[in-house]
Structure 1
Amino acid sequence: MSRPVHILKVLMAGAGLLAAALVPTPAAAAPAPTDGPAAVARARVAADELMSSYEPNKAWFPSSWWNSAVALQTIGDYMQRTGDRRYLAQLDNTFEKDKGAFPAGYLSGDELWGNFTSRAIDDSEWWGLTWIQAYDLTKNRKYLDMAVTIARFVEDYWDDTCGGGVWWNAERTYKNAVTNGLWIRLTAELHNRLPGDTYWLGRAQQGWNWLNGSGMLNSAGLVNDGLNDNCESNGDTVWTYNQGLAIGAGLELWRATRNPQLLTTVRRLADAAIAPGGLVTDGVLTEYCDAPGRTCDDNGKQFKGIFMRYWMDLADTTHDRRYTDFVARQAATVWDNDRDAADRLGLHWSGATPNVFDWRTQASALSALIAAVPATPPVRSLSATTDPALPVVMPATGSATQVKVTVNLQATGPVGDSIDVTVRAAAPSGWTVTPTRTTVKLRTRGNAVPVQTSVDLAVTIPAGTPDGLHSVTATATSGSQLSFTTRSDVLIAHKADFDTGTAAETPWLFDADGSQSNGVQNRFADGHSYFVYRFPFPSDATSASVALTIDNEFVIQVSGDGQNWTTVATETNQVHDGENKAVRTFDLTPYLATAAYVRISDSFPDTGWGGRVYHVTATYN
């Protein structure tokens, strides 16, 4: 369940419904210029990285129910914004597989009651918005019907306590901003898609009027989290997603009514968010929990993306240069400062370290990149990625090492066009890369399915190269308009020595499977999930070992090929509090002929306290 958050109390004088079109204020101007092809390419690369974490059997993003709804909604935004339609099948896979009832612990900590509903009312609303997005993409009525079903479920949790509003949970313990911001947006979206509707419009207007009078919008125009037992604002944290939802709720209701008072309120909320004392630090959107010295939980990791989803709506609707400039600033800082060679996007958009990377932070930052894509996307685009993006070399003594890096290209263009793409590669001084220049031909198929091909690079690393990251870059160009640079960060290391849950762990993490990391020095595998580290020891090594700081209910296995496993340690007691935390060392010498793989899993998969690793050290002689 997403954490409770407050919504805004908006000062909206008068109620009359005016059928007037939006008239830009004097502050409005033409949208800021943007490099459309580059924006599309960047969003595509980040979307593909996000979808690499999609688990097709359970049809979700592992271990988080409401976050999965928002991640899929973000992919829907990406497809709608760019014209790419490659991920429609995954949306439908989730719809068909997950619409039933499930016991607690299977997809959510809560029991799921069917039709994407549960005791977490806000979770249900997130899924309602996801299926409206799917309907917008496909016009398949089953998605819209599901959103209506969800809205009818949520409506039962509106009552007269505190003068109205939807309860946050089925136990009716809290009325807050997130649940009611979602309610307004959901019902207004239904109205705007159901010809002749008046019912859902009435519910949206009722919800907006209640929210405005609830007290959750503070004097600065920022949204506090919810109401206390006296039905007064609790003055709790201003989370970005509450602010964004309030903006988004007002915009969708404005589309239904054209009431200019709604836009006045929306602008007040938006201006408060970017004003001094708002939600921005040095020009960059910053969550309360991702400020220095704080830590975001799995909920908070995704809040900023929700804000940007509705800020994109704001920029599209008003064309106000201040709002479009803000979009451009967030997208630029994410791409330039918050991205690693594998195109993973982190929690701290400013690039502050230590950063946190997972599919939730990926979905969140992706929304900033999507917002920078022009509302009418260009047909032509070109992107490139590398594989492996973060290779590890544990070098032999006195001899060069070779690695292969594949440059994967994707392009869009008018159907049937033939385009030439030139790839130029570069490596550090003293290294060689072959070829340094090559040209491939692609025949494009429009926006819906980017065409793709690949180029292999042979990279030779000289003996004596110092430990550290060394970048091999590849720039793909086509004509004078399309250019995209990618890189592979080769890690040279004579030992592995890293905390889990950090960027330093990533090059060694061969297979994350369904494991989770809740921060620095924390990676664990519950149930039937696992995670695997790979150590490519050199051919001239004579011995090797790995030391794991580990606790809880673990199984530790080793392998020389990543497929055939030998169990070397198992916790046979049910340990739930980390009391067995210790450094355990294992011999990897038998696996020097290839590479050594170490897998951690759960010795009691039904209890939810699987092996948890804090630190890893692997050495060789």
Structure 2
Amino acid sequence: MRSLLSISSAVLALSLAPAVLGQLKIDVDKPDTLKAAAKVVVKSLVDDYTSQKPFVAGILPSEYSFFESGVFFNTILNYAAFTGDATYNSLFEKDFFNQIGDNANFIPSNKSARIANDDVGYWALAAISAAEFGAKPSDSSSPSYLTLAENVFNDFVQRWDDKTCGGGLRWAVQASSTGYDFKDTNSNGVFFELAARLGVQTGNKTYLDWANKVYDWTVKVGLIGSLDTNNVGQVYAGASVQDKCQQVDQSHYSAQQANYIYGAAVMYATIKSPTWRNRLNSLVQYTSVTYFGPQQYVDDGRSQVVTEAGCEYDNKCTTDQKAGKSILFRSLAFALVYDNMYSYFKVQITNSARAAAKSCNSAGDCGFDWSDLKYDATAGTGVGEKMAAIESFLAVVRHLDAKPVKGVFEAEEQTESPSEIETSSPASQTSTAPEVSQTPNSGSRLAVGGVLGGAVIASLLHMLL
């Protein structure tokens, strides 16, 4: 007979053993299961943010770059819009405005010396998402979300550099910062996407003209593979002004691809030209092969799961780069409503969502490598991994239960009907409101498709969704 001591020791050992956590359960044909899974992971994501010590409102823990905080807030917005869960809306508004800076352009004074254009760009994309979803600051003295996005756009116009490489934004804002001599596709891709979305949101044609200008420059300098290259539709990292952008850095990551996909989708929806359809198709097709694997239409639940192709195979992805998948899914969720693209991508999107669920535990911790279909506690988790899982679930939700949930955000005042497109330059208009990424190829983002102000926006969404 075992002694009471040995029994007690066994009970104590069991009580101290870590709990075995199961995987998240989803059904890709049932949006409620996807929303429930997203809810679990969002809670864990927000806990990572709010539990940091010391806590700084609007900023993720110190290991994350400034741009990723902007991506984080965009994820919170997207989650609320497509699940109807407004739990984190007040947190979003309160903390988001803490980082807009003195000039309402997302350059806080303590980051101005080392800020990069893609840093502020991702915050601006969160702002335009809020405007599109109809969100309105509760404090009437705060600048509108649209104003915040416009302010960043105007800054980008002022920083457009025609003196080197025939145009383009430099990665860094300040000449003294690392990356000032590099013109990257994160910064220019964010500029392109922001311009396209502002053009639709405001009805001002000048924004669309700038979107055209940025895209044309990107192709001309060789940062997007064209029809006369072997990699049509591939977005490369950037090029140095030191050699007049002659040597292209051909490293590639999903985030930089995503910005151009989102912007091209907006331009195609707005202009309806064969040129923009072909551009969107080439970007999406390259994404399909490169970031979801070469095997086509294999619906086995394992094949064609998203991979950060530029670094994941070698297990060398940085914290910045781990944000890319979330940006890619958000971009594809919007773009795939065109030309029956979702049917082409369905296996890749749904298999990735299934794999994401299996790579997350029931506490909302998620891994980065989804191909093993399990959560690897030894590899750890993080903000980028969790945002990727959330956005993969929401990408499927958007095609099962497509429209944003009405009433989640307070309705913003209607803008003037943009039936007559304005031609005044937004960059010449006076603004109404008075840790940076470590590598130029760190990440990017996208997201229209909400309850947008203005008749053109409403009719566009009705057509698309």
State TM-score, norm by structure 2. Answer: 0.67
The alignment status of 1:156 with 2:158, answered yes or no, reads yes
CA distance in 2, matches of 1:162, 1:378: 41
- DSSP 3-state at the match of 1:215: coil
CA distance in 2, matches of 1:378, 1:151: 29
Change (3 A) 1:121 1:447: closer
Change (3 A) 1:193 1:376: farther
- 8 Å Cα contact 2:70-2:122 kept in structure 1: yes
Letter in 1 for 2:111: L
- 8 Å Cα contact 1:134-1:143 kept in structure 2: yes
- 8 Å Cα contact 1:125-1:182 kept in structure 2: yes
- DSSP 3-state at the match of 2:61: coil
Task: Look up the match of 1:61.
Answer: 60
- 8 Å Cα contact 2:57-2:98 kept in structure 1: yes
Task: Look up the match of 2:31.
Answer: 36
Task: Look up the match of 2:187.
Answer: 179
Greater helix fraction, Structure 1 or Structure 2:
2
- DSSP 3-state at the match of 2:144: helix
Letter in 2 for 1:315: L
Task: Look up the match of 1:132.
Answer: 128
CA distance in 2, matches of 1:189, 1:378: 19
1:238 aligns with one of 252, 258, 279: 252
Alpha-carbon shift at residue 39 of structure 1 (Å): 1.7
- 8 Å Cα contact 2:31-2:401 kept in structure 1: yes
- DSSP 3-state at the match of 1:175: strand
What are the within-5 Å matches in structure 2 for residues 319-358 of structure 1? 319-320=340-341, 321-336=343-358, 338-351=359-372, 354-358=378-382
Alpha-carbon shift at residue 255 of structure 1 (Å): 2.6
Alpha-carbon shift at residue 375 of structure 1 (Å): 4.6
Task: Look up the match of 2:224.
Answer: 217
CA distance in 2, matches of 1:184, 1:238: 18
CA distance in 2, matches of 1:139, 1:241: 25
The alignment status of 1:167 with 2:189, answered yes or no, reads no
Alpha-carbon shift at residue 292 of structure 1 (Å): 4.2
1:45 aligns with one of 37, 40, 45: 40
CA distance in 2, matches of 1:43, 1:120: 31
- 8 Å Cα contact 1:290-1:347 kept in structure 2: no
2:326 aligns with one of 291, 301, 305: 305
2:266 aligns with one of 239, 247, 252: 252
Task: Look up the match of 1:553.
Answer: none
1:193 aligns with one of 198, 201, 223: 201
CA distance in 2, matches of 1:360, 1:99: 22
| Residues 160-169 or 369-378, more deviating | 369-378
- 8 Å Cα contact 2:330-2:391 kept in structure 1: yes
Task: Look up the match of 1:374.
Answer: 398
How far does the alpha carbon of each residue in 1:78-128 deviate from its partner, in whole angstroms, 9 at most, with x for none? 1122222222212211233222359xxxx99x9434xxx963111111111
1:264 aligns with one of 278, 285, 302: 278
| Residues 366-375 or 352-361, more deviating | 352-361
Task: Look up the match of 2:148.
Answer: 146
CA distance in 2, matches of 1:377, 1:41: 14
Paired residues, what number?
A: 342
What are the within-5 Å matches in structure 2 for residues 507-518 of structure 1? none
Greater strand fraction, Structure 1 or Structure 2:
1
Alpha-carbon shift at residue 180 of structure 1 (Å): 0.9
Change (3 A) 1:292 1:200: closer
CA distance in 2, matches of 1:292, 1:206: 35
State the structure with bigger RCO (CA 8 A, min sep 6), 1 or 2. Answer: 2
- DSSP 3-state at the match of 2:315: coil
Change (3 A) 1:355 1:202: same
CA distance in 1, matches of 2:28, 2:322: 29
What are the within-5 Å matches in structure 2 for residues 565-604 of structure 1? none
Change (3 A) 1:119 1:447: closer
Change (3 A) 1:267 1:165: same
Identity %: 21
- DSSP 3-state at the match of 1:308: helix
CA distance in 1, matches of 2:80, 2:214: 30
How far does the alpha carbon of each residue in 1:319-338 deviate from its partner, in whole angstroms, 9 at most, with x for none? 321123321111011112x1
- 8 Å Cα contact 2:150-2:198 kept in structure 1: yes
Alpha-carbon shift at residue 378 of structure 1 (Å): 9.0
- DSSP 3-state at the match of 1:150: helix
- 8 Å Cα contact 1:349-1:365 kept in structure 2: no
- DSSP 3-state at the match of 1:163: coil
* TM-align CA RMSD: 2.9
Task: Look up the match of 1:205.
Answer: 212
CA distance in 2, matches of 1:339, 1:100: 36
- 8 Å Cα contact 2:368-2:381 kept in structure 1: yes
Alpha-carbon shift at residue 202 of structure 1 (Å): 1.4
CA distance in 1, matches of 2:200, 2:126: 15
Letter in 2 for 1:212: V
For structure 2, list consecutive stretches of 5 or more residues without a partner in the other structure. 1-26, 137-142, 295-302, 410-465
Letter in 1 for 2:328: F
Task: Look up the match of 1:85.
Answer: 86
CA distance in 2, matches of 1:270, 1:378: 20
Change (3 A) 1:144 1:264: same
CA distance in 2, matches of 1:291, 1:99: 33
Change (3 A) 1:285 1:376: closer
Change (3 A) 1:233 1:45: farther
Alpha-carbon shift at residue 251 of structure 1 (Å): 0.8
Task: Look up the match of 1:120.
Answer: 116
- DSSP 3-state at the match of 2:266: helix
Letter in 1 for 2:231: A
CA distance in 2, matches of 1:202, 1:125: 18
Query: Between Structure 1 and Structure 2, whose CA radius of gyration is higher?
Result: 1
State TM-score, norm by structure 1. Answer: 0.51
Task: Look up the match of 1:361.
Answer: 385
